[in-house]
Chain A
Amino acid sequence: MATTASGRTTVPAPRARQPRRTTSSLTTNPGGFWFVLPFVLVYAAFTVFPVLYGFGMSFFNVSLAGAPTSFVGLDNYAELLGDSQVWRTLGHTLLFTVISTVPLVVVSLAMALLVHTGVKGQWFWRFSFFAPYLLPVSTVVLIWNWLMQGDFGFINGVLGGLGLPTVGWLSDEGVALTSVVLITVWWTVGFNFLLYLSALQAIPESVYEAAALDGAGGWRRTVSMTLPLLKGTTGLVVVLQVLASLKIFDQAYILFGGSGGPGGAAAPILQHVYDTGFVNYRLGYASAISYVFFALIIVVSLGQFALSRRRGRTAA
């Protein structure tokens, strides 16, 4: 339904009166197939095939060092059940996902709300908050590696100057993963911020005007109207963020030079997969680990899908 300039509401005409379309729609038109074909080919060659091939590899003792390959059945899967490093690094990944998703959602929302209040120089804030997201991961991590140096890093310098105890950002087992979270938040919060900001800008002004007439103050409007109206966006941001955080690898790998951090406390499961397959030459076993992780991601995704569907139903 649309409202015309004259204020009259135009009702879509019944189907029968529409001029009959002479060509079939995009979905039924066989021509559509040819448009999709290039993508399908690339997708099949570089996603579907490797996924299936890798799954097959997980049942063999494939070695990068060229040793003869033989079928080992479920041995790789049996081995990973008893591999403490698999469960430890999986724990790191899950912990990272939890402690990075919360700030990445909350901070980005706060930033979007602040910018949306109408501060001067909107473009400047938008640019500043989003700019780190445009940097390559290696640049981001190298900057933070120097900031977080234990002995002469900027952050510890400031802490020391304020008379506070310095922190072993990169050398303390209990802090290492938090350092990765800090870097990740600084680096990627801009993307969520942008999603929130565009959602905020899509809320029509008239809604707020009506609320203001009813006597709702700024705080009340934010809590009772803005946040509920952002529910859909929050769902989207959380889904995207959880999936992105589960894939944690590059920041942690570069920050600690591939060592996994102090006591291996910042080694995510993907690094264990990488080390097993590419450093230790055990491609078959590494595949098995990655497929167990893959299954976990699917479970998480389905769980989120179910949740959002239920939410959608209750909302409707």
Chain B
Amino acid sequence: MTRTTLSRRTALRAAGAAALGVGAAGLTSCADPVTGSGSGGQLAYWNFFTGGDGERMVQLVDSYRDEAPQVQVTDTTLAWGAPYYTKLAMACAGGRAPDLATMHMSRLPPFAAHLLDPFDLDELAARGITADQFPERVWDKAQHDGQLYALPLDTHPMVLYVNTDLCDRAGLMGTDGQLAPITSAEQFLDAGRRLADVTGSTGISWAAADGLGGWMMFWSVFRQLGGRLELPQGGTAQVDRDAMVQAFSFIRDLTDGTICSPTLDGPAAPAVFASQQAGLFVLGPWELITAETAGIPFTMQQFPALFGDQPLIRADSHSFVLPRQASLDPARRSAAYDMAASMLRNSLSWAGGGHIPALSAVSDSPEFLALQPQANYAGAADVVEYDPDAYFSGSGSQLMSFGGQQILSVSTRAQTPEQATDTFLTWVDQQLAIPSPV
């Protein structure tokens, strides 16, 4: 056996050649993105799913790759929140956006104004996707200026995680393996007190110190109280002040240190539930994996109506959007439609991450209805409440972050509910008064 030794010079030469090759490939792909012709071609898809969701998204992309082997799909995953939306906006503005991208529907309005193309309903219908296959509220939110700008993949409402063992010991379980119905705020608070007796610490885990976690509780309760918040750019906020004060008051009642800690942050709240230091836990359904991994006895349910008779729940939806292109290639656009439709059809596996599939063919299928605990809260899709429309609103937005600060200040007793309401509304009016970037 002869051993070939790799001299440093050869190695450097090879590396240099490889680098040049990569660079050249990059250049050509910039200049002429479509290498194939006819049915073949390339497709760039961006998303922001990491962790458990990320794995499922890769499965969805792979299933499209199997369906359309002639299309070369490049999928790029970026960190969610501002990093993702910044890059997407930059790419759109520069005219070299991906062919298909993921977006929270709550962030749609500022993007739809200048950076996205609307979906062609005929093209969607040709792929078997029509409006009547989506929950009405979800479909409505995907519209902008009377056109469909986002194709909803799922809905992720705030849900109630139930530690069945602890809740059983607190006498809160019904006969069907679910929590006995909770129909009022007082009952919810009482459940928290009884659970605190069982756990010896707090009853309910809820992240008062996390912008997202805090906001979803606040917005759900505010809407259940009949509160409305409209944000007309250049005007002043139209708001039910009393409902907002009441919502903040509920937050204060909730975070008395027994029912709920006033200071749990984003990472802490799921950890408290996973370590069985609380019997109930409130957040989006994506912590399903955390609870499963922890191996605790749990189920998940739709968040109940604490006020009023409709269990309105703050939610957001992941969706697909078509970024505007400097020069539109019909083949790539067509492949983008194909891929979006394919991922929607295959979204049963996506539901494994806790999200409710938006397409009724999936969410009404026997397979999904047999999926536990997801099927328990699938009805939430009909009562979802999205964030108010404004460029500074939505998941990961300034409205959420500033609202979150007020929620935390009420839970730590730094502000009264009245003060928090005033602070919040003053800030909102300031935002409406400054020049809009949209």
Chain A residues proximal to chain B, CB less than 8 Å: 61, 63-67, 79, 145-146, 149-152, 168, 170-173, 257-260, 262-264, 274-275, 278-283, 285
Contact = CB atoms under 8 A, between A and B. Distances in A.
Contact of A64 (B86, B202, B408, B436): B86
Contact of A170 (B92, B263, B272): B263
Give the most central of A151, A152, A168, A279: most B CB within 10 Å.
A151
B404 interface: yes
Nearest to B264: A151
A289 to B, nearest CB: 13
B405 A65 contact: no
Contacts of B157: none
B267 to A, nearest CB: 7
A171 B396 contact: no
A64 B437 contact: yes
B270 interface: no
A146 B266 CA distance: 11
Residues of B in contact with A, size category: 35 or more
Contact of B268 (A67, A149, A259): A149
B187 to A, nearest CB: 25
A64 B93 contact: yes
Contacts of A173: 409, 414
A257 B265 contact: yes
Given A262-B405, A281-B438, A282-B437, A172 B412 contact: yes
A146 B265 CA distance: 10
Interface of B is mostly: loop
A222 B398 CA distance: 52
B262 to A, nearest CB: 7
Contact of B93 (A66, A259, A279): A66
A65 B210 contact: no
Nearest to B269: A151
Contact of B89 (A66, A150, A152): A66
Contacts, number: 119
A65 B110 contact: yes
11 contacts: A63-B438, A64-B93, A64-B437, A67-B113, A79-B434, A171-B412, A259-B401, A262-B414, A275-B401, A279-B401, A280-B437
Given A66-B93, A264-B402, 6 more contacts: A65-B113, A65-B391, A79-B435, A151-B264, A282-B437, A283-B437
Given A145-B267, A171-B263, A281-B110, A258 B211 contact: yes
Contact of B263 (A79, A151, A258): A151
Nearest to B208: A171
Nearest to A148: B265
A278 B412 contact: no
List of 6 A-B pairs having minimum Cβ-Cβ separation, nearest first: A66-B114, A63-B437, A150-B263, A171-B263, A281-B437, A65-B110
B405 A264 contact: yes
Given A171-B209, A280-B437, A65 B261 contact: no
B111 interface: yes
Contacts of B201: 151
Contacts of A152: 268, 272, 277
A150 B261 contact: yes
Contacts of A282: 435, 437
A63 to B, nearest CB: 4
Nearest to B88: A64
Nearest to B397: A279
A67 B85 CA distance: 16
B115 interface: yes
Contact of A260 (B110, B261, B272, B405): B405
B82 A259 contact: no
B230 to A, nearest CB: 19
Nearest to B112: A65
Contacts of A168: 263, 412
B23 interface: no
Interface in B366-425: 391-392, 396-398, 401-402, 404-405, 408-409, 412, 414
A240 B365 CA distance: 63
B326 interface: no
B297 to A, nearest CB: 21
A97 B81 CA distance: 28
Given A173-B409, A262-B414, A66 B435 contact: no
Nearest to A174: B414
